[in-house]
Amino acid sequence: MNNQAEAGVSRAADPACLFCRIVAGEIPAARVHEDDTLIAIRDIAPRAPTHVLFLPREHIVSAAELTRADGSMLGRLFEAAASFARAEGLTDAGYRMVTNVGEWGGQTVGHLHIHLLGGRSMGWPPG
Ligand code: 5GP
Ligand code: ZN
């Protein structure tokens, strides 16, 4: 399956989705970046001195739904996260980007997002 039509997955904004509502501006969030593809918001419960979420405007439940047709969007997400990290002075020390998938992956919001965590040393493996 190479595209969402074949996958049969709807990517229309979901009125029940917290991050779709943040994208639409219905729920406030501290935006640190936005463009035609994505927005970046500060996590409401930061787990590191810098904790920002990069999410596509379109509703994609998780990385489990991605196909190669999403390559451009994903490049934009990672580029925005890396650019933000650089601007925050995190690049030399390093930082973590992570996306959780499903219950065992620790995902609590069903709208794809990359966590950018920085400003402290990260343990491995994650819990
Ligand atoms: P997940 O658990 O799905 O990987 O990540 C969801 C993240 O969204 C969590 O780190 C959580 O703190 C954050 N979050 C949940 N609700 C809100 C909210 O209303 N606003 C913001 N900015 N972040 C939220
Ligand atoms: Zn959504």
Tens of pLDDT, residues 99-119: 999 999 999 999 999 999 999
Tell which residue, 90, 77, 89, 126, has the closest CA to residue 106.
Answer: 126
Domain assignment present for residue 68? The answer is: yes
Domain assignment present for residue 124? The answer is: no
- CA distances 32 to 70, 85, 88, 124, Å, are 23, 11, 11, 28
Domain assignment present for residue 111? The answer is: yes
State the total domains in the chain: 1
Ligand nearest to the CA of 55: 2
Q: Does the annotation mark 113 as catalytic?
A: yes
Domain hosting 100: range is 3-118
Domain assignment present for residue 123? The answer is: no
Cα-to-centroid distance, 69 and ligand 1 (Å): 26
Report the predicted TM-score, pTM, of the whole model to 2 decimal places: 0.95
pLDDT band with cut points at 50, 70 and 90 for residue 10: confident
| Sole residue written with tokens 């919001």 | 109
Cα-to-centroid distance, 105 and ligand 1 (Å): 14
Domain assignment present for residue 127? The answer is: no
| Residues 28-47: tens digit of each pLDDT | 999 999 999 999 999 999 99
- CA distances 110 to 98, 100, 118, 125, Å, are 15, 10, 23, 23
Domain assignment present for residue 126? The answer is: no
**CATH number for the domain that contains residue 21:** 3.30.428.10
